Chain A
Amino acid sequence: MQKKAFEHLISVVFVAVFLVAIYLLFLKKEDVNKPKMQISTKLFEKQIIDFGDNYEKALLFDILNIYTPDSIELNSSIISNIEDLQTEKFTDFNLKSGNDNNGLSFGVIKKILKMYFWFLVIYLIAIILIHSFAKTFAIWKFVKVKQGTRSYFDEFVTNLKDYVNNILPKAVRKHKLNIAVKLFFKGFIKTISYFIIFSPSYVVAYSIKGSSISDSLIFLILLAVFTNGLLINYSYRFYSLLKAESKKGYVNTAIVKGLNNNYKNPLFGYKKIIKFNKKFPGHVFNHIYLNAVYQNILNIKELSALLITGIVIIEMALNIQGYLCYEMLQNILYKNYDVVIFIVLLIFITVKTTEFFVDVKYYRLTQKYENS
């Protein structure tokens, strides 16, 4: 266990050192201004001609050449220097927006830490929600498969065939048609929900943008949980664990011991599955569930990284002021790479802390099951 904690720590230190090194070597905001020649700056400040007009620029170039005919190259570099100054005047973000955000300062750090707090709130709530929804969804799917229910499409086709079949009495055919129509709507809703679950968050968000809820915290959390395909991927992972465990030998022993093996019974009604603390006493499923949950603990590590990817995408793509990741994007634009690296490190520490806690929990459980 200590070895694992040590590894996590080394990881954080290593990434921090690496990023800071990259920053110092490549990204430090140098004086973007190339060493401008004094004469160019003087000419530019004096605004002797309209430097946006190409004709007047060419005229200046000719005049310089007449006065100093031996230094044509020098003159042309004076002109290009002036052109650079001209471009900067119009495109420097800092000058444009009046923003004097020039890197990491105490005030900036405080601001970022406040945003980090809300980031953590979203992250923690989302991870708890995904974890429990995924288990519920996976159990529901497992029970449905065991009950032998067929897909909506198959049932729809069967009922439609029965409706068209002239041999059956009219009342039965009408009944089949009703079922078919109901199934059609159910299938339609299922398709829409599939589309929502699989779309990247920005697609869903933009579909409902403009309404009052689109900037709220709750909406962000809902997006983080239900879109990007995260919930369904994680549920499927748990579901495949359930399936794999249900094929193992101890399930047969449980069946033969006379434990309940019937999945149609009220133990698997909606209310029982949705409960937070799930228990299935006296049923074979209890054995399967225990093992699946134990093995699922390590999956939370991957979930954490994926969830953060989702949250980052949501915050950046929706351009919501005041949130951590949007701030990061803005600082990339302002070329304040030190702020960017600070935020990246904060996010990385979040992932690593989650991984650490997961490792601790898994270690404790393993110790218990190893009889030590």
Chain B
Amino acid sequence: MKTANLLLYKIDKQRDLKWFLFYLVGIQFLLLWNELFLNKPAFALLKEAFLNSFIIGALVLVFAFFLSWGTVNLRLYLTNKFNGILLTIIDFIIDTIKSIPQIISVLLGYIFITLIITKETVKNETTIILLISVLLSIVIFPELYETMINRIKYFKKSDFYNSMLVCGINEYRIMNYDILYKNSVGFIIHKLVSLFGVALFLQCSIDFIISVGLSNDVSLSNFPATLGNLLAKMDSKQDILAIGKTISNPLYIIKLPFEHLQGLSTAFIIVFTLLCVFKISDGIIKRIGK
């Protein structure tokens, strides 16, 4: 009892852990409920969609991290070469990617993926997942890049950078080990967590939008099952419309959790994940702040 109390007290102090556990419990509960009340094929589809969406999210984080980290080091490499022209070009490209509204870049990227699928008949699901992840990571990585650059700028402003430089310590070591690894891991993790939410949001939105289809050769059936896809299916849309019914007919709310599970579960997973990601990243930043 005492250890349980102590554990609860410690968890309560760490908000991010609290919300992460809450999230796991919530999802488990939902899966259990679905096991009991949702038909088997729909449930299998739901599980596959859930898994795919999360795999894409994780891959996006990995790619985005390496892209940002690589660009930061590339920037250092190019600092004193060619009069800084290449440096300006890199900054310019990243600024432009940031300025284009994310959904538009993702949409244009999806057009390309669609064309590739048409022309080269790439139907392998893994390849498509990889392509989607690469696309999303290119659209998202400028935010992580900016976080890293801001940390480096912060340390350059103080004597930190200079004092190590004049001792003959290698610039790459100062930047990667001392600044990014020793002093910025919390910030990077916080950014990655919130980017996971952004990736999930973009992914679901674009899948929902193209539910109309982007070409006559390629339709949703060519793309792997994801949460957005699932939400866009006719029966899921019906399920959500049913929520509207409860506003005019409040008693309907009793039937709702039993009869319209596919759409409701998908919507719930999306919203619940976004909410918990937000709270977890908020908790992390509070922890770093101390």
Residues of A within 8 A of B (CB): 7, 10-11, 14-15, 26, 91, 93, 194-195, 198-200, 202-203, 206-211, 228-229, 232-233, 236, 240, 302, 305-306, 308-309, 312-313, 316-317, 319, 329, 332-333, 335, 344, 347-348, 351-352, 355
Stretch at the interface among B48-56, B151-159, B200-208: B200-208
Report the separation of the CA atoms of residues A355 and B204 in the bound assembly, to the nearest whole angstrom: 28
Q: CB distance B214 to A333 under 8 Å?
A: yes
Report the separation of the CA atoms of residues A288 and B102 in the bound assembly, to the nearest whole angstrom: 33
Q: CB distance B243 to A344 under 8 Å?
A: no
Q: Is residue B278 contacting chain A, with contact meaning CB distance below 8 A?
A: yes
29 contacts between A and B (CB under 8 A): A7-B92, A11-B99, A91-B216, A199-B270, A199-B274, A200-B204, A200-B208, A203-B231, A203-B267, A203-B270, A206-B244, A207-B244, A210-B241, A236-B282, A302-B98, A305-B98, A305-B102, A306-B101, A309-B103, A309-B104, A312-B107, A316-B209, A317-B205, A332-B111, A332-B214, A344-B104, A348-B100, A351-B99, A355-B99
Please name all residues of chain A whose beta carbon is closer than 8 Å to the beta carbon of B104 when the two chains form the complex.
308-309, 312, 344, 347-348
Report the separation of the CA atoms of residues A200 and B213 in the bound assembly, to the nearest whole angstrom: 20
Q: Is residue B7 contacting chain A, with contact meaning CB distance below 8 A?
A: no
Please name all residues of chain A whose beta carbon is closer than 8 Å to the beta carbon of B92 when the two chains form the complex.
7, 10-11, 14
Please name all residues of chain A whose beta carbon is closer than 8 Å to the beta carbon of B285 when the two chains form the complex.
240
- Given A305-B98, A305-B102, do A333 and B213 touch, yes or no (CB 8 Å)? yes
Which one of A206, A306, A312 has the greatest number of beta carbons of chain B within 10 Å?
A206
From A10, A200, A344, B205 is in contact (CB under 8 Å) with A200
Please name all residues of chain B whose beta carbon is closer than 8 Å to the beta carbon of A308 when the two chains form the complex.
101, 103-104
Q: What 1/0 flags go to B36-73 for Cβ under 8 Å of A?
A: 00000000000000000000000000000000000000
Please name all residues of chain A whose beta carbon is closer than 8 Å to the beta carbon of B102 when the two chains form the complex.
305-306, 309
4 tightest A-B CB contacts, nearest first: A308-B101, A207-B243, A309-B103, A206-B240
Report the separation of the CA atoms of residues A305 and B244 in the bound assembly, to the nearest whole angstrom: 30
Q: Is residue B247 contacting chain A, with contact meaning CB distance below 8 A?
A: yes
A307 (CB) vs chain B CBs: closest residue = B101
From A207, A232, A305, B240 is in contact (CB under 8 Å) with A207
Least CB distance, A35 to chain B, in whole angstroms: 17
**Interface size, chain B (Cβ < 8 Å):** 41
Report the separation of the CA atoms of residues A203 and B240 in the bound assembly, to the nearest whole angstrom: 7
Given contacts A200-B201, A210-B244, A333-B213, 7 further A-B contacts (CB under 8 A): A203-B240, A305-B101, A312-B103, A313-B209, A317-B209, A329-B212, A352-B99
B197 (CB) vs chain A CBs: closest residue = A229
Q: Is residue B79 contacting chain A, with contact meaning CB distance below 8 A?
A: no
Please name all residues of chain A whose beta carbon is closer than 8 Å to the beta carbon of B209 when the two chains form the complex.
313, 316-317, 329
Please name all residues of chain B whose beta carbon is closer than 8 Å to the beta carbon of A207 when the two chains form the complex.
240-241, 243-244
Report the separation of the CA atoms of residues A93 and B215 in the bound assembly, to the nearest whole angstrom: 10
Least CB distance, A81 to chain B, in whole angstroms: 17
Report the separation of the CA atoms of residues A209 and B275 in the bound assembly, to the nearest whole angstrom: 23
Please name all residues of chain B whose beta carbon is closer than 8 Å to the beta carbon of A319 when the two chains form the complex.
212
Inter-chain residue pair count (beta carbon < 8 A): 115
From A15, A194, A211, A316, B96 is in contact (CB under 8 Å) with A15
Report the separation of the CA atoms of residues A313 and B202 in the bound assembly, to the nearest whole angstrom: 9
From A211, A229, A351, A352, B278 is in contact (CB under 8 Å) with A229
A352 (CB) vs chain B CBs: closest residue = B99
Q: CB distance A15 to B212 under 8 Å?
A: no
Q: CB distance A344 to B244 under 8 Å?
A: no
Least CB distance, A83 to chain B, in whole angstroms: 14
Q: CB distance B101 to A312 under 8 Å?
A: yes
Least CB distance, A115 to chain B, in whole angstroms: 16
Report the separation of the CA atoms of residues A333 and B217 in the bound assembly, to the nearest whole angstrom: 11
From B212, B243, B271, A198 is in contact (CB under 8 Å) with B271
Q: Is residue B237 contacting chain A, with contact meaning CB distance below 8 A?
A: yes
Please name all residues of chain A whose beta carbon is closer than 8 Å to the beta carbon of B202 when the two chains form the complex.
309
Please name all residues of chain A whose beta carbon is closer than 8 Å to the beta carbon of B275 when the two chains form the complex.
194-195, 198
Q: What 1/0 flags go to B207-239 for Cβ under 8 Å of A?
A: 011001111100000000000000100000100
Interface residues of B in 235-266 (CB under 8 A from A): 237, 240-241, 243-244, 247
Least CB distance, B16 to chain A, in whole angstroms: 15
Please name all residues of chain A whose beta carbon is closer than 8 Å to the beta carbon of B103 when the two chains form the complex.
308-309, 312-313
Q: CB distance B247 to A15 under 8 Å?
A: no
Q: Is residue B8 contacting chain A, with contact meaning CB distance below 8 A?
A: no
Please name all residues of chain B whose beta carbon is closer than 8 Å to the beta carbon of A329 when the two chains form the complex.
209, 212
Report the separation of the CA atoms of residues A332 and B241 in the bound assembly, to the nearest whole angstrom: 27
Please name all residues of chain A whose beta carbon is closer than 8 Å to the beta carbon of B271 when the two chains form the complex.
195, 198-200, 203
Report the separation of the CA atoms of residues A357 and B62 in the bound assembly, to the nearest whole angstrom: 35
Report the separation of the CA atoms of residues A133 and B209 in the bound assembly, to the nearest whole angstrom: 28
Which one of A313, A335, A352 has the greatest number of beta carbons of chain B within 10 Å?
A313
From A210, A232, A236, A348, B99 is in contact (CB under 8 Å) with A348
Report the separation of the CA atoms of residues A232 and B231 in the bound assembly, to the nearest whole angstrom: 24
Report the separation of the CA atoms of residues A317 and B282 in the bound assembly, to the nearest whole angstrom: 29
Please name all residues of chain A whose beta carbon is closer than 8 Å to the beta carbon of B107 when the two chains form the complex.
312, 332
Report the separation of the CA atoms of residues A161 and B106 in the bound assembly, to the nearest whole angstrom: 51
Report the separation of the CA atoms of residues A87 and B100 in the bound assembly, to the nearest whole angstrom: 37
Please name all residues of chain A whose beta carbon is closer than 8 Å to the beta carbon of B278 when the two chains form the complex.
198, 229, 232-233
B216 (CB) vs chain A CBs: closest residue = A91
Q: Is residue B108 contacting chain A, with contact meaning CB distance below 8 A?
A: yes
Report the separation of the CA atoms of residues A309 and B205 in the bound assembly, to the nearest whole angstrom: 10
